[in-house]
Amino acid sequence: QVQLVESGGGLVQAGGSLRLSCEASARTFSNYGMGWFRQAPGKEREFVAAIGWSGGSTFYARSVKGRFAISRDNAKNTVYLQMNSLRSEDTAVYYCAAAFRLATERLTVGYKYDYWGQGTQVTVSL
């Protein structure tokens, strides 16, 4: 069982930045593909960004590419999501997810992940 704890959410003005963190309890964190997803009120959960377990390949949703950056620190069992140039449409609950040795081509698929965090609220004001 892997526990994921997100932090770093909050209220920010449009154009501002936030960095989300997700700490995992996994003993072999480096073997887990990690993803960030988000869900806005009244909308379905959507993929935001992911980073592979092998080689650290990264993937982004088209809506955040160039503004968000995902990274991982295996020594700290932590994955990060740096969010810049935030927009009101980025407002959502952000969830961290983990999947053991998930194939690179499946990192964007939510139901392929085994473990999910509780989520952290990000609110972007105009």
Average pLDDT for runs of 10 along the chain of length 126 = 95 98 94 97 96 89 98 96 98 97 90 95 96
pLDDT of 114 reads 95
pLDDT of residue 56: 76
For position 21, what pLDDT does the model report? Answer: 98
Task: Answer positive or negative: Cα dihedral of 43, 69, 95, 48.
Answer: positive
Largest CA distance in the chain: 41
Report pLDDT for 61.
97
Which residue type is seen at 58?
T
Given a contact cutoff of 8 angstroms between Cβ atoms, the answer to whether 19 and 82 are in contact is yes
Tokens standing for residue 62: 């088209």
How high is the pLDDT of residue 26?
87
Give CA angle at 70 (35, 78), nearest 5°. 70
Give the per-residue pLDDT at 54. Answer: 78
